[in-house]
Structure 1
Amino acid sequence: MTRFGRRGIHTERVTQTTIGPRLDLLLALMMALAAVGTAWAGFQSAKWSRVQANTYAAAGAARSEAGRVATVAAQQRTIDVVTFTSWLNALNAEIVAGDIETPRGGYTPDPESVSGFLFTRFGEEFRPAVDAWLETRPLIDPRAPATPFDMPEYRLAAEQAAAERVGDADELAGVARTANQRSDNYVLTAVVFALVLLFAGLAGKTPHSLARRVLTVVGAVALAGCLVTLLVFPVEL
């Protein structure tokens, strides 16, 4: 019994001696991978943060351009309103004075009259809307649109350009938010890698076999999850 007991003790010591170097090698490999993963996650987080900053700046520039173009569009619309009101007043005065007849459809401007002068000064984008409006016989048909501004033909290129700039700004802001989320994801991954380093370090220092194994298993699982996560995460170079 004594001899068997000594052999059992000897076998257990040999097993521990064999497991020790293997476990140390495994922990060293885990710490190396965790260190590399932490560096890579930090690098990618910084890259995506830069993408976020640049894209937000581009979105801000697009919104500023949209505001500028919208101001131009508002000025053009104001000019169209003023010229149309002036023309309508002049046309009404000439009709009341008997100088011209009430237009019953199209309108042929007389360059020598005030209304004709104003009509020829309508903007290029406003004139098609006025012609379409006059075809509805608005001066004699109460069902006609109230003004040319209600016509679908009235479209300002500046307003369309401003809307496009706003759309571009919204799209860029979405890209920036996505980049911000990706940067946060990489930061979280780096934190988990740091935990892997902690678990591996504690496993190499603790004298208790069970605690060592538990720490090693937990660290290995966390490391595997982080490595898989890095493989599926988008990369910014």
Structure 2
Amino acid sequence: MKDEQQRAKMWTRATEIVGVFLLSITAVLTAWCGFESSKWGGEMSIAFSQASSARITAASAEGAARDARAFDLTVYGAYVEAVGGGNQELADYISARFTPEFQVAYDAWSADGMVENGPFARPEYVPEGTVEAEEASARADAKFEEALENNARGDRYSLLTVLFALVLFLTAMSQRENPTWVSRTLLGLALVVAVVGIVIMSTFPVII
């Protein structure tokens, strides 16, 4: 009888120690998950902001490219009219004002026998602002994807806080006046869930 009472007291004491330890560790892990979720949420906001800024830059560069193309079209139109009218002096005057981007395409077009409909169809023709627009657009896409990934990371940490909250609940319930098998079951479940949560958390990226 005394042995049974002694074992019961030892079990109760062990349960209390394990429960307190588990509660303490889980509380810290829950706080950590909340911190990481907040940090990744901040990173998401920054990435979204950078994506928006890059979109604006891309739009501005695209506008500059359209204006450059319109200018080249106007100058080339005047050049064609001068050549067609037999005014070579005017044609030379206009051709001297070709933009560098258009001049490269025009020279390549002329060298290939003017096969295409015009210099603007040549791959060499890249109006000023085109490259900048493509780079800014690519940067915006990359930042947008980064923002989505950061959001997903924050969500995963938030879900872990729910998992650790379950550990706290099971541990707290195991400390109540329950039949021994109930306390053991609850505490065992709490330990299993805690281990699973820690393993999952170890696979997540960390930001300080």
TM-score bracket, normalised by the shorter chain, equals over 0.9
Find the counterpart in structure 2 of residue 27 from structure 1.
Answer: 19
Q: Which structure carries more helix by proportion?
A: 2
**Structure 2: tracts of 5 or more residues without a match:** none
- Opposite residue 149 of structure 2, the aligned amino acid is T
1:213 to partner: Cα distance: 1.2
Q: Pick one of 130, 136, 161 that aligns with 1:165.
A: 136
Answer yes or no: is 1:61 the counterpart of 2:32.
no
Higher deviation after alignment, 152-161 or 19-28:
152-161
Paired with 1:201 and 1:169, the residues of 2 have a C-alpha distance of 48
1:229 to partner: Cα distance: 2.3
* Two-structure CA RMSD over aligned residues (Å): 1.3
Find the counterpart in structure 1 of residue 117 from structure 2.
Answer: 146
Task: String of CA shifts for 1:1-23, please: whole Å, max 9, x gaps.
Answer: xxxxxxxx332211101110001
Paired with 2:166 and 2:181, the residues of 1 have a C-alpha distance of 19
State the TM-score, normalized to the length of structure 2.
Answer: 0.96
Higher deviation after alignment, 181-190 or 202-211:
202-211
Number of residue pairs matched by the alignment: 208
1:231 to partner: Cα distance: 2.3
> What percent of counterpart residues are identical?
26
Paired with 1:154 and 1:218, the residues of 2 have a C-alpha distance of 68
1:157 to partner: Cα distance: 4.1
Find the counterpart in structure 1 of residue 43 from structure 2.
Answer: 51
Which structure 2 residues correspond to residues 137-216 of structure 1 after superposition, within 5 A?
Answer: 137-138=113-114, 144-216=115-187
- Opposite residue 234 of structure 1, the aligned amino acid is P
Task: String of CA shifts for 1:45-98, please: whole Å, max 9, x gaps.
Answer: 00000000011101100010010011001100111111111111221111xxxx
Paired with 2:99 and 2:3, the residues of 1 have a C-alpha distance of 101
Q: Pick one of 82, 97, 100 that aligns with 1:124.
A: 100
Find the counterpart in structure 2 of residue 82 from structure 1.
Answer: 74
Contact 2:64/2:128 (<8 A) preserved? no
Secondary structure of the structure 2 residue equivalent to 1:131:
helix
Q: Pick one of 110, 123, 131 that aligns with 1:134.
A: 110
- Opposite residue 226 of structure 1, the aligned amino acid is G
Higher deviation after alignment, 171-180 or 149-158:
149-158
Structure with bigger gyration radius: 1
Find the counterpart in structure 1 of residue 198 from structure 2.
Answer: 227
Paired with 1:206 and 1:46, the residues of 2 have a C-alpha distance of 38
Secondary structure of the structure 2 residue equivalent to 1:40:
helix
